């Protein structure tokens, strides 16, 4: 069986490298006589690249070659990735992708297309890079009703927050550092505004709760507004600040609440120890309790390794579809922002007495060097809508950050 | 399809509970019309138990009932578990077990028997309780040559070491506390002497390296000799002490080194944050880097949840065998103790000058309250045999603890 790669960027070239590096091992695992890289589709030329001769410009070469059984899509973006992947599936070729944007936006449609054509559409690498998460959710945790899935899904923002926390670096300087190291793009919006984490949590929510949720159906908040003072308060409280993407079953599974936002994480949480560019995903099952999967959420070889595991799976099970998928979500499935229930950290210009009259259970926090003329506290469990109403009445609110229970 | 449980102890009754609690969800996942618990084999009676009527005493009732497609073995111990499991597999019934002793000692034989009879023998719950680890190793990491698998595989010893570290409790008191809480048996040997962790690392090594290794083929060292002074040195060095079970590929995969022993773990390692009864397993792949799986390594419902996931898998794929197994190991596959290479922490009555003449790269450690009249240091990478020779010449050695690089 032959393999084609569409998109020879970081991940695509990593896939070629892993296929070569572990070739013998991979062929054996795939139960095929051979598993060879035949084409690399890319508009660019790669003079001097060891795979230079495999590079083609015409997608139809792949589409019309019956020896190509598995196509790897590592182009990124929605178009033409969506059209190419659709065409491959219709032509009876299995497709493996690392493209979270594609899966988050078109996963339901592509899985249906794969099913119709009796091939596989796999996307382990689209969430958590090399961390095995999609298969464990589908198979290993199958005895559980999943109550919540949450995690640190973006390495760039985690690097920035770690630097702010460990070294007291200001946000702008930590971002500049991440850009210098190649962790952040020149336009860092997809990372720092939570867009990347949002796509990933949508995919995890689809898998865990069986309904397709759209990236634009809920509140997404990035880390741009996190200050050194917030970091100081988190430390004084006994924890850290992480960008947490989460999806939680609500009302006995009739709804879910989704959120991407900075959060206070207790220092004894397993997520609190996840530093630098590492990712971690927590899954809470009703029988299992919490399990956490940790590793490199990005990077050439880790991500490529997840792609190649999917390629092996496609080759190994060329006669059979992997058993997952989800269906459309009914209207109102994703709860509105106001329904989101949590504890919250609040900084306000109001005095303690005013805070206590609105939040009798407020737990005040301060630290040496805390900004003057403000009061900081953590609330008890409260609906976001109720919180907003109380804070509007209180006035002088400077920032609000949720507090997780994991 | 019907299910039978052999052994109605903690895990067995947990399996019955999860099958009932998540029944609708489980039947749907299993792709069967029904998946009902029909028999519970146990020599004891359970008056008043909700499943009292299902309890039987005669194993042949299960064996001869063609409607029983999956048998859960949660009896523990080698006999009669081995005979019962063998008979079930020969009768064309898939078997799911949480019994690490059985898998570590008889896994190869039982997998072969399952293959002959075209049924499944699954054992996800035998390592790491509810933590998904076996399937991720087999499937998700398949693109990688695995370089090392290591972890905190025993919750009882981790509880004791956490208490010694966090609260300065002496070993004996921490053990008594674990016994009081039901984490440790009255005879704690299987836990504190590393026997339980040894069985689990054998299973992981079998899976990662494809060769069956026997629990008695390598050095196993428990935590009985860890003192408060060792804990103080570990803290001063910037880390913690954990009981680490590890299996590492050596000589390009021709050999492996295996070890269960206390170890110094750097404070910024993901394993350093694993406290109390939690377990974590680190897998290092040649493309992937390190991934860590974290969760409850024991406990009724977490373990039962892993068993039931396997039951679902058996029911779902009743026509097909799960693709794993391993073969006999050639003589000399497991390297001898002397070949084990690592950094080591050493306490000796020798003076610094003598230490430096033997270990030029020694990194000395001390702390307020360290025992007088001794020198403590960490070596560079060295073979155990060479270390032992140097230490014999040096004399006055009080303790030796390995230092990991993860």
CB A368 within 8 A of CB A384: no
Quick check: A236 pLDDT over 90? yes
* Tokens coding A359: 């939040």
Chain B, window 321-350: residues with a beta carbon less than 8 angstroms from a chain A beta carbon: 323
Query: A294, B291: Cβ pair inside 8 Å?
Result: yes
| CA A238 centroid distance within chain | 26
Cα distance between the two ends of chain B: 45
Which positions ≥6 away from A42 have C-beta within 8 Å? A6, A7, A8, A12, A55, A57
pTM: 0.92
Least CB-CB distance to A22: which of B21, B25, B143?
B143
Chain B interface includes A57 (CB < 8 A): no
Q: Which residue of B has its CA nearest to A29?
A: B142
ipTM of the complex: 0.90
| pLDDT above 70 as % of chain A | 100
Give the per-residue pLDDT at B299: 86
Give the per-residue pLDDT at A142: 84
B362 — pLDDT class (breaks 50, 70, 90): very high
Quick check: A360 pLDDT over 90? yes
Chain A hits for B273, CB-CB cut-off 8 Å, are: 270, 272-273
A340 — pLDDT class (breaks 50, 70, 90): very high
Chain A interface includes B319 (CB < 8 A): no
For A133-190, how does the pLDDT look when each residue is reduced to its tens digit (9 = 90+)?
Answer: 998 998 878 888 999 999 999 999 999 999 999 999 999 999 999 999 988 889 999 9
Quick check: B286 pLDDT over 70? yes
Query: B290, A290: Cβ pair inside 8 Å?
Result: no
E strands present in A74-207? 94-97, 121-122, 146-152
Q: What are phi and psi of A400, to 5 degrees?
A: -135, 125
For A266-279, how does the pLDDT look when each residue is reduced to its tens digit (9 = 90+)?
Answer: 998 999 999 999 99
B246 — pLDDT class (breaks 50, 70, 90): very high
Chain B hits for A290, CB-CB cut-off 8 Å, are: 295-296
Give the per-residue pLDDT at B323: 66
* Tokens coding A353: 């007495």
Place of tokens 């630098």: A276
The least confident of A346-355, B215-224, B321-330 is: B321-330
| pLDDT above 90 as % of chain B | 90
* Tokens coding B54: 């299902």
Quick check: B251 pLDDT over 80? yes
Of residues A348, A365, A141, the one with CA closest to residue A233: A365
A12 — pLDDT class (breaks 50, 70, 90): very high
CB A191 within 8 A of CB A154: yes
Least CB-CB distance to B304: which of A273, A287, A309?
A287
Cα distance between the two ends of chain A: 45
What's the mean pLDDT when you consider all of chain B? Answer: 94
Q: How far from A215 is each of A324, B155, B220, CA to CA, in Å?
A: 20, 39, 51
Q: What is the mean pLDDT of residues A77-105?
A: 97
Measured distance CA(B175)–CA(B188) in Å, rounded: 8
* Tokens coding B67: 């409607």
Task: Say which of B93, B100, B200, B384 is annotated catalytic.
Answer: B200
Helix extents (H) in A139-252: 155-167, 171-180, 189-192, 195-209, 228-237
Of residues A363, A372, A367, the one with CA closest to residue A398: A372
Q: What is the mean pLDDT of residues B12-22?
A: 96
Mutate which of A122, A140, A322 to test chain B, going by most B C-beta atoms within 10 A? Answer: A140
Of residues A158, A133, A46, the one with CA closest to residue A309: A133
Quick check: A323 pLDDT over 70? no
Give the per-residue pLDDT at B106: 95
Least CB-CB distance to B132: which of A141, A274, A307?
A141
* Tokens coding A386: 């109720």
Q: What is the mean pLDDT of residues B188-212?
A: 95
| SS (HEC) of B336-363 | CHHHCEEEEEEEECCCHHHHHHHCCCCE
Quick check: A322 pLDDT over 80? no
| CA A76 centroid distance within chain | 15
Report the DSSP pairing between strands A68-73 and A94-97: parallel
Mutate which of B16, B137, B288, B321 to test chain A, going by most A C-beta atoms within 10 A? Answer: B288
Measured distance CA(A124)–CA(A314) in Å, rounded: 12
Chain B interface includes A298 (CB < 8 A): no
Measured distance CA(B151)–CA(B133) in Å, rounded: 11
In the A/B pair of chains, how many CB contacts fall below 8 A? 176
* Tokens coding A201: 């949590």
For A37-68, how does the pLDDT look when each residue is reduced to its tens digit (9 = 90+)?
Answer: 999 999 999 999 999 999 999 999 999 999 99
> Residue A19's CB: how many other CB atoms inside 10 A?
24
Chain A hits for B145, CB-CB cut-off 8 Å, are: 22, 25
What angle is formed at CA B310 by the lines to CA B304 and CA B314, rounded to 5 degrees? 140
A250 — pLDDT class (breaks 50, 70, 90): very high
Q: Which residue of B has its CA nearest to A14?
A: B287
Q: What is the mean pLDDT of residues B279-297?
A: 94
Measured distance CA(B127)–CA(B196) in Å, rounded: 10
CB A11 within 8 A of CB A74: yes
Give the per-residue pLDDT at B77: 95
Give the per-residue pLDDT at B320: 72
Q: Which residue of B has its CA nearest to A269?
A: B273
| pLDDT above 70 as % of chain B | 100
For B57-109, how does the pLDDT look when each residue is reduced to its tens digit (9 = 90+)?
Answer: 999 999 999 999 999 999 999 999 999 999 999 999 999 999 999 999 999 99
| pLDDT above 90 as % of chain A | 90
Chain A interface includes B18 (CB < 8 A): yes
What's the mean pLDDT when you consider all of chain A? Answer: 94
Measured distance CA(A259)–CA(A198) in Å, rounded: 8
The least confident of A246-260, B10-24, B74-88, B324-338 is: B324-338
Query: B287, A18: Cβ pair inside 8 Å?
Result: yes
* Tokens coding B404: 């990991």
Q: Which domains does chain B have, with CATH numbers?
A: 2-130+300-328 (3.40.50.720), 134-296 (3.30.360.10), 337-403 (3.30.70)
Chain A hits for B270, CB-CB cut-off 8 Å, are: 273-274, 278, 294
For A208-226, how does the pLDDT look when each residue is reduced to its tens digit (9 = 90+)?
Answer: 999 999 999 999 999 999 9
Q: Which residue of B has its CA nearest to A137?
A: B132
Give the per-residue pLDDT at B139: 80
Eight-class DSSP state of A385: H
Quick check: A72 pLDDT over 70? yes
B192 — pLDDT class (breaks 50, 70, 90): very high
Quick check: A299 pLDDT over 90? no
């Amino acid at each position: 069986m032959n393999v084609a790669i569409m998109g020879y960027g970081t991940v695509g070239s990593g896939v070629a490298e892993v296929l070569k590096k572990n070739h013998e091992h991979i062929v054996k695992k795939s139960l095929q006589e051979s598993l060879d890289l035949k084409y690399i589709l890319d508009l660019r030329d790669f003079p001097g690249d060891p795979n230079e001769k495999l590079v083609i410009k015409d997608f139809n070469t792949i589409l019309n070659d019956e020896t190509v059984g598995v196509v790897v899509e590592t182009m990124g973006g929605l178009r033409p990735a969506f059209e190419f992947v659709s065409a491959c599936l219709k032509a009876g070729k299995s497709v493996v992708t690392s493209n979270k944007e594609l899966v988050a936006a078109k996963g339901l449609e592509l899985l249906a297309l794969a099913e119709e054509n009796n091939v596989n559409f796999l996307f382990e690498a689209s969430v958590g890079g090399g961390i095995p998460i999609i298969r464990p959710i589908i198979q290993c945790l199958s005895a559980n009703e999943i109550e919540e899935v949450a995690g640190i899904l973006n390495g760039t923002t985690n690097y920035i927050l770690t630097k702010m926390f460990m070294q007291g670096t200001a946000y702008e300087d930590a971002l500049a550092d991440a850009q210098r190291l190649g962790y952040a793009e020149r336009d860092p919006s997809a990372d720092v505004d939570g867009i990347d984490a949002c796509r990933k949590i949508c995919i995890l929510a689809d898998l865990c709760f069986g309904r397709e949720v759209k990236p634009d159906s809920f509140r997404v908040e990035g880390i741009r507004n996190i200050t050194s003072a917030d970091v100081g308060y988190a430390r004084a409280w006994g924890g850290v600040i992480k960008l947490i993407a989460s999806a939680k079953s609500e009302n006995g599974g009739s709804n879910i609440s989704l959120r991407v936002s900075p959060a206070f994480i207790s220092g004894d949480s397993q997520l609190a120890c996840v530093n630098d560019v590492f990712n971690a995903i927590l899954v809470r099952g009703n029988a299992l309790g919490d399990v956490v999967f940790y590793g490199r959420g990005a990077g050439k070889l880790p991500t490529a390794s997840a792609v190649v595991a999917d390629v092996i799976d496609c080759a190994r099970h060329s006669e059979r579809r992997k058993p997952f998928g989800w269906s459309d979500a009914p209207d109102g499935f994703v709860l509105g922002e106001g329904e989101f229930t949590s504890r919250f950290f609040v900084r306000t210009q109001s005095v303690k007495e005013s805070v206590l009259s609105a939040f009798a259970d407020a737990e005040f926090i301060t630290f040496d060097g805390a900004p003057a003329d403000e009061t900081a506290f953590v609330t008890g469990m409260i609906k976001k809508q109720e919180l907003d109403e109380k804070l509007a009445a209180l006035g002088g609110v400077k920032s609000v950050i949720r507090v997780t229970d994991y």
